[in-house]
Amino acid sequence: MDAGSGSGDKAEFFTQGRRWLKALPVKFKANMVAMVRNIRKLGQDDPRRVIHSLKVGLALTLVSTFYYCQPLYSNFGVTAMWAIMTVVVVFEFSVGATLGKGLNRGMATLMAGGLGIGAHHLANLSGHIGEPILLGFFVFLQATISTFLRFFPKIKSRYDYGMLIFILTFSLISVSGYRDDEILEFAQKRLSTISIGGSACAIISTVVCPVWAGEDLHNLIALNIEKLGNSLEGFGDEYFKRTGGEESKDDKKFLEGYKSVLNSKNSEESLANFAAWEPGHGRFPFRHPWKLYLKVGTLARECAYRIEALNGCVNADIQPSSEVGSIIQEACTNLSIESGKALKELALAIKKMVQPSSADSHIENAKSAAKNLKSLLKSGIWEDIDLLKVIPGLH
């Protein structure tokens, strides 16, 4: 019985192995098809991603000529690798992010190089015994101060990468100078190659199909306000459909608009930070007030939180009766529709950078609807009714 059981297990094992081998090509084909679909979808969602990838490849190819071309390699040697490394770490999706990283890296390298050379010469004056001690003290001091400065919010938001490069460059130059007498030449070559790599990134990013962070921020704020307008405009109909016993089929679309606004804070702050590095372009001149976009974004999120509270009333278990709903329906629906239209007009005006044409009229209509609703609430027909159950959204 044991022998028969063992042979049966072996046969089952080999059978499963054959099935797995037969299914392997099918699974591989399915995975490849899924991967191709994902790649195509990623490119179709934002074609700028494909262009950005080509731009990075172009920049790396250009700076690689320092290795391929013998006269250039003879001048820079192995330090030419810093140009390639600079392109890899500096080239970002938007112009502002690329310029910010490039300027951070260049200025940090220049400052740290100068201070590192100065520290090396000061340490030389202390003699052979005191030199390593003094160099170690300088490294400790600058690393401690620079790391502490990174905790300041303003420095961290704009110069954090530069502070890291400053710590790295100062340490490399001051420490390597203890064993290498040609420290000045080393620092000069490194600064030159980093400048070349950063310049290649800046030029290609700005000239070849540029992606402006400021423009993305501008469009994001306008789109968020438009989403709020759409959500608010449809709230009245949505609420009274539910109270009338009708189930809406577009609940998910109704929720998606304002929810994306609630989660846009990090994107807005990043884009505003990158936009501050960008030169004047198109409709956005030098010193464009990017910080005001953050204030508008904050107000938009506050509005989204209120819409979220209103949306909770749509799915609330307690709903007003049809008789009560018929009394307040017109005023509530007009209020939500006019408020939504006003927001959409403001969003369009922001996007086109023009004065809003009809937003004022919608705001006045919304105020009028709000007054009508208040008049209804103050009338004597509510004496025997719990208003918190009638209009939970207004609570």
Residue 16 lies in a domain: no
Nearest to 167 by CA among 146, 195, 188, 182: 146
Beta bridge partners of 284: 281
Residue 113 lies in a domain: yes
DSSP for 329-378, written as a single string:
HHHHHHHHHHHHHHHHHHHHHHHHTS--SSHHHHHHHHHHHHHHHHHHHH
Domain boundary among 178, 207, 236: 207
Residue 12 lies in a domain: no
pLDDT at 390 (0 to 100): 55
| 197 shares its domain with 280 | no
For the whole model, what pTM was predicted? 0.79
DSSP for 207-262, written as a single string:
HSS---HHHHHHHHHHHHHHHHHHHHHTHHHHHHHHHTTPPPS-HHHHHHHHHHHH
- CA–CA distance, 191 with 140 (Å, rounded to integer): 23
pLDDT at 25 (0 to 100): 78
- CA–CA distance, 233 with 335 (Å, rounded to integer): 9
Nearest to 97 by CA among 211, 197, 193, 195: 211
Nearest to 200 by CA among 45, 109, 302, 82: 82
| 133 shares its domain with 202 | yes
Q: Summarize pLDDT for 369-393 with one digit per residue, the tens.
A: 888 877 776 765 656 555 555 554 4
Percentage of the chain beyond pLDDT 70 is 79
| 188 shares its domain with 241 | no
| 162 shares its domain with 253 | no
| 232 shares its domain with 86 | no
| 201 shares its domain with 313 | no
Domain boundary among 158, 177, 207: 207
- CA–CA distance, 86 with 202 (Å, rounded to integer): 11
**Domain, as residue range, for 159:** 50-207
Residue 28 lies in a domain: no
| 54 shares its domain with 165 | yes
Domain count, the chain: 2
85 class by beta-carbon count within 10 Å (0-12 exposed, 13-18 middle, 19+ buried): middle
| 228 shares its domain with 297 | yes
Domain boundary among 177, 207, 237: 207
pLDDT at 317 (0 to 100): 54
pLDDT at 243 (0 to 100): 46
Residue 42 lies in a domain: no
- Asked if 155 and 149 count as a contact pair (C-beta separation under 8 A), the reply is yes
Please give the radius of gyration of the chain, using alpha carbons only, rounded to the nearest integer. Answer: 32
Low pLDDT (below 70) residues in the chain: 1-11, 13, 70, 72-73, 177-183, 236-256, 313-327, 377, 379-395
pLDDT at 272 (0 to 100): 93
